[in-house]
Chain A
Amino acid sequence: MTITINSAVKATLYIAFVFSTSVAKAQAPALADAAGSYRIASSSSIQFSVGQVGGGGGIAGRFAKFSGGFRIDGANIERSSVEFTLYPESVRASERRVEDFLRSSAVFDAANFQTVTFRSTRVRQTGPATATVEGALTARGKTRKERFAVTLTDWNRRSISFTIRGSIRRSPYGMDVGTPIYSNVVEFNMRITGQRR
């Protein structure tokens, strides 16, 4: 998710140039400024939704507890990496019954599998402020390659923010309960803020 730094740098350089002409105070950050290690801040949000047949609400929820970090490689953005853990026990949904069901053996089986983890294996830039991050997603003891689309939204010296979207099929993880009433695809929508370590 971190290859977007190139574009962040470009954007910042541009802003810096614009500002320097008028304010003459802005400093152009070096790439080294963005490089480094970040801790995923608790202010981040991990939301998901699952569509239902015939339209209508479907299942929507979020995870309250998660942790992780990422490293931005200043020399080679595509060698940047991210590591992420979320705790299904902390799932929040519209009501208790839905939360209990999501935690149960039918879905996350949180009693036996306390975490869902993601470890990036490949980062590729796809546009001025976008990238895809490929990696190994492990849930319910099954590991598969998944891909997320990352968009840089904000950046300063101390923190960096992205929105991350991904469509994950449930069935390979043994979580296909409720299909076809509920879609096999879970849409993830995350706003991740990294605090420089």
Chain B
Amino acid sequence: MLRNSETGFGWVTIVLHWTIGLLILGLLLLGFIMRRTGIDPALQFALYQWHKSFGFAALGLALIRTIWWLVERTPSPPASVSPLERKAARLTHDTLIVLGIVVPFTGWAVASASTLNIPSFFFNMIVIPHLPLARSETSENFWTFAHALLAYVALAMVAIHAAAALYHHFKRGDEVLTRMLHPAVGVSSGGRSARKRHDAAVGGNDR
């Protein structure tokens, strides 16, 4: 249930996936609002600090997710997925994994390079030190641009990823989406029998 199988995801992957997904979307929204001109300055300051705290949370979870992705097996796509689609999916997933780490790091770089030198006080609990970057306006502007650009790339990848999942669910009627909602056990009768066949075939000598 916790670990992935050959045909489906376990709870560890599922919980990480949706938590990180929600964090990414929330951070994009937060980042968009806090950069608006004419925003109340006190609110803006608070939103920046929330963005940083949630951003560090996303970074931590993305690192765990990446390690998990590297050490745990990745279930095979359903048989109905074509080789080209597999390649596209693989590319999208790899990009999202990389962006999940790189985007928070560029955000951390913004806070570190900023001449404002505002501490990163993770949920008002722990001070996270700045990255060893020189503080200058040029450096701050560069990282701000990189962070925003990569965040929009991440948004585009999330959109593609979500659109593909919805396409598979509603048009293809396959289990691409549902198997990221819960582990394969006890899904549709087809899913269950497939899982049972799989367990019968590989169970016992793979754990």
| Interface residues, chain A, with chain B CB atoms under 8 Å away | 52-54, 56-57, 94-95, 97-98, 101, 104-106, 177-178, 180-181
Contact = CB atoms under 8 A, between A and B. Distances in A.
A52 B117 CA distance: 10
Nearest to A100: B41
Interface in B44-66: 45-46, 49
Interface stretch (B68-76, B118-126, B188-196, B199-207): B118-126
B122 to A, nearest CB: 11
A97 B49 CA distance: 17
Contact of B115 (A54, A56, A94, A180): A94
A80 B115 CA distance: 44
Nearest to A103: B41
B129 to A, nearest CB: 8
A53 B42 CA distance: 18
Nearest to B46: A177
Interface size band for B: 10 to 19
A56 B119 contact: yes
Contact of A181 (B40, B42, B115, B119): B119
A95 B137 CA distance: 11
Contact of A177 (B42, B119, B121): B42
Contacts of A95: 115-116
28 contacts: A52-B118, A52-B119, A53-B119, A53-B121, A54-B121, A54-B127, A56-B119, A57-B117, A95-B115, A95-B116, A101-B41, A101-B45, A104-B41, A105-B40, A105-B41, A105-B42, A106-B41, A106-B42, A106-B45, A177-B41, A177-B42, A177-B45, A177-B46, A178-B45, A180-B124, A181-B49, A181-B121, A181-B124
A49 to B, nearest CB: 14
Interface of B: 40-42, 45-46, 49, 115-119, 121, 124, 127
Contacts of B117: 56-57
Contacts of B115: 94-95
Contacts of B41: 101, 104-106, 177
Contacts of A97: 116
Contacts of A105: 40-42
Given A53-B119, A181-B119, A181-B124, 18 more contacts: A52-B118, A53-B121, A54-B121, A54-B127, A56-B117, A95-B116, A97-B116, A98-B116, A101-B41, A105-B40, A105-B41, A106-B40, A106-B45, A177-B42, A177-B46, A180-B121, A181-B49, A181-B118
A33 to B, nearest CB: 48
Contacts of B121: 53-54, 180-181
Contacts of B127: 53-54
Q: Can you list the 10 inter-chain pairs with the closest CB atoms, starting with the nearest?
A: A106-B42, A54-B127, A106-B41, A104-B41, A177-B42, A181-B121, A53-B119, A54-B119, A53-B121, A52-B119
Nearest to A179: B124
A53 B40 CA distance: 24
Interface centre among B40, B41, B115, B117 (most CB of A within 10 A): B41
B133 to A, nearest CB: 15
A8 B27 CA distance: 61
Contacts of A177: 41-42, 45-46
Nearest to A52: B119
Contacts of B116: 95, 97-98
A56 B111 CA distance: 14
